[in-house]
Amino acid sequence: VQLQASGGGLVHPGGSLRVSCKASGFNIDYYPIFWFRQAPGNEREGISCISSNDGSTYYADSVKGRFTISRDRAKNTVYLQMNSLKADDAAVYYCATDFESPCSRSSLQYDYALDYWGKGTLVTVSS
């Protein structure tokens, strides 16, 4: 099982960026994908997830209305479209999966229970 996050970069406040999570060794049709972020000096924050079965989604309040999670089954990839970016959104973004945890607020809160993590991609928001 491998997850590879990519697409990070420098963006101005108010701008947009899309990060990707390429999965290998398993099929995203069957397992949820979670997005987390961690800024320097801050705890890791669970921000979004997408369910495997029906594609239902969950967003933390901090990103709701600005971020959109989606998936491309053919590419076995999950995306996080980030709009109206703020300085507070600057962080390393990670994707994760687990074969037992559902996409839920609880799973995002208790992230230590998730088994598989990818290396992160850095998002910098600066003018």
Write out the chain in H/E/C secondary structure: CEEEEECCCEECCCCCEEEEEEEECCCCCCCCEEEEEECCCCCCEEEEEECCCCCCEEECCCCCCCEEEEEEHHHCEEEEEECCCCHHHCEEEEEEECCCCCCCHHHHHCHHHCCEECECEEEEECC
Range 85-111 average pLDDT = 94
pLDDT-above-70 percentage for the chain: 100
Using one digit for the tens of pLDDT, what is the confidence trace for 44-59? Answer: 999 999 999 899 999 9
Residue 68 pLDDT > 90, yes or no? yes
Give 110's pLDDT tier (boundaries 50, 70, 90). confident
